[in-house]
Each structure stands twice: as C-alpha cells, then as structure tokens.
Amino acid sequence: MFKRSLALAAGIALSLSAVISQAADTLKVSAIPDEAPTELLRKFKPLGAYLEKQLGMKVEFVPVADYAAVVESLASDRLDLAWLGGFTFVQTRLKTGNAIPLVQREQDEKFTSKFISADPAVKSLQDLKGKTFAFGSVSSTSGSLMPRYFMQKDGIVPEQYFSRVAYSGAHDATVAWVQAGKVDGGVLNASVWQKLVDAGKVDTSKVKVFATTPTYYDYNWTVRGTLDPALAEKIKQAFLALDPANPEHKAILDLQAASRFIPTKPENYEGIEEAARSAGLLK
C-alpha cells in the first residue's frame, strides 16, 4: 500500500511537472480586440511563427472578449505578451505596477485619429453639432480617449454636443456604421482607416476624412512585469530585428501596418494618462 501510494504521488508530481514545463515553454500572446477576431488572427499568424523561430518556444495567440480582459489577463499572469493601445497600457501599468512596454511601431510615436462622415455637407465638427456620432471602444486610445480629449480642449463635450453618442466597439465597425448611415460621423485610428481604404473596404466616394487629431503616442507590445527578463529581452530584440529589406520580414511588418519597430518606454505614455484623468476615465 505504502509503495503504491508513493508511486501514485510520484506520478502526480511528474504530471504536474510536465504541465508546468509545457506552460513555461509556451508564450501566451494576445491583442486588444480593436478589429474583428478573424483579422487579428490573420495578422498574428506569420508574426507568431517568426517569434517561435526566434525564441525557440511555442507561441500561442489567446483571443480575448474585450479590452478589460487583456488588462486582467496580463495582471494575473495568464498572458505573457500583448498588443496594447496607449490607454490600455496605462491601465495595465497602473494595475500591475510593473508591466513593461518593449516596442512600438515607428508611426506610434506620432499617431493620429481620423474623423469621418458620409454627409457631404460635413466639413468640420461644427457641422456635426446636434447629429449622431460614434466612437470605437470606450477603452480605445485612438477610437475614443484621445479624440474625446482633443474635442474637450476645443470646448466640445460629446454627450452635450451631439444628439446621440454611440460606441461601435471596433475601428472597422465605426467605418461600417458611418458608411451605412447608422451615424452621421465617427472617429477611428489612422492606421486602420488607411488599411481599409487600401483594401477597398470603404467607399471613399461616400465616406471621407474631414479632420485629423494632433499627434500622440499609441500602440505598443507589452510584457507582464513578472516575465523572465532574459525572455523579455529576446522578444524585444526579435521585434527590432524585423527588417523591411527582408521579404519574409516585410510581409510580417505589412500585416502589422509597420515600417519597422522601435524601442519604447513607460514615460512615453504619460500624456495618455493625463488625458485619461482629464476625461475622468482614471481616478
């Protein structure tokens, strides 16, 4: 009986060891759901294969339901690496105290949002007064927070200025709403707008950009603060090594709408935190 119990205990220990080892050998990656889930997976697939090769470990994409889920998953160590917007990074950093932004795309140093409308009479935000307007997700930096911040600096309080304010949940959904006439105007990030235009997924004879925000820092790839520093550095170097002169690398960069990746740091997002506090989104 004693020998049998020892054997059983040893078997359980070995099984647990295998599970822990397997978990440690898998990099769990996710992204804020600012586009359709199928698009996020399509964009990540070649990047995931590249990271597997560079890191020598399995890389798994973990879809999440909403922006808050990414923050919670990084804070509870259920995710190792995530593509975050500037505001989502600020939320994660404040919640964890140690989340580390590794890299951002070159254009994320000077990111913008685009205001759009399908009404030919709309030339500025003043022409949308008393009409309907759509933001993306409430937690979106480029689809909600920063456009709202810049509007408020101009004396526009959206809930008082527009007849109705709605949240589409994602940048591509905002374009679809404007194009279908569900709302009179909307705002989304410049990168997704350009991608949709290039792919012919928006009728530019109907939907047009009528204004662009000032620049701000936005997206980055962030790791949880408890991740092995040596692994975090390997991940950072893998992103920095992506070379647009290499056809395989260029295909990955194109899917990420990136010319290249550059290092970033928490201080870059202090302006986002200030904007969030000004908008009453952080206490």
pLDDT value, residue 36: 86
Nearest CA to 221 out of 41, 100, 129 is that of 100
pLDDT in tens, 149-169: 999 999 999 999 999 999 999
Q: What is the mean pLDDT of residues 164-191?
A: 97
Tell me the pLDDT band of 51, cut-offs 50, 70 and 90.
Answer: very high
pLDDT of residue 122: 97
For residue 147, which of 160, 162, 136 has the smallest C-alpha distance?
136
**Mean pLDDT value across residues 179-203:** 96
How high is the pLDDT of residue 279?
82
Does the pLDDT at position 6 exceed 60? no
Task: Report pLDDT digits (tens) over 65-121.
Answer: 999 999 999 999 999 999 999 999 999 999 999 999 999 999 999 999 999 999 999
- Structure token digits, residue 28: 């769990």
Q: Which pLDDT belongs to residue 9?
A: 44
CA 219, CA 8: separation in Å to the nearest integer?
Answer: 49
pLDDT, residue 24, reads 61
Q: Residue 278: what pLDDT? A: 86
Q: What is the pLDDT of residue 34?
A: 86
| 22 — pLDDT class (breaks 50, 70, 90) | very low
Q: Which positions ≥6 away from 215 have C-beta within 8 Å?
A: 109, 110, 111, 112
Sign of the Cα pseudo-torsion (42, 166, 126, 122, in order):
positive
What is the chain's alpha carbon radius of gyration, rounded to the nearest angstrom? 21
Q: Name which of 148, 170, 145 is nearest 160 in CA terms.
A: 148
Contacts of 254 (CB under 8 A, 6+ apart): none
206-225 pLDDT, tens per residue? 999 999 999 999 999 999 99
> Is it the case that residue 275 has pLDDT exceeding 60?
yes
Averaged pLDDT score across all residues of the chain:
91
pLDDT surpasses 70 at 18: no
For 39, half-sphere exposure in the C-beta direction (CA atoms, 13 angstrom radius) is 16
Q: Tell how strand 58-61 and strand 26-31 pair up.
A: parallel
DSSP class per residue in 231-263? HHHHHHHHHHT--TTSHHHHHHHHHTT-S-EEE
Q: Yes or no: say if 27 and 102 are a contact pair by the CB < 8 Å rule.
A: no
φ/ψ bin of 169: left (φ > 0), alpha (ψ from -120 to 50), beta (otherwise): left
Q: Is the pLDDT of residue 14 over 90?
A: no
Q: Is the pLDDT of residue 10 over 60?
A: no
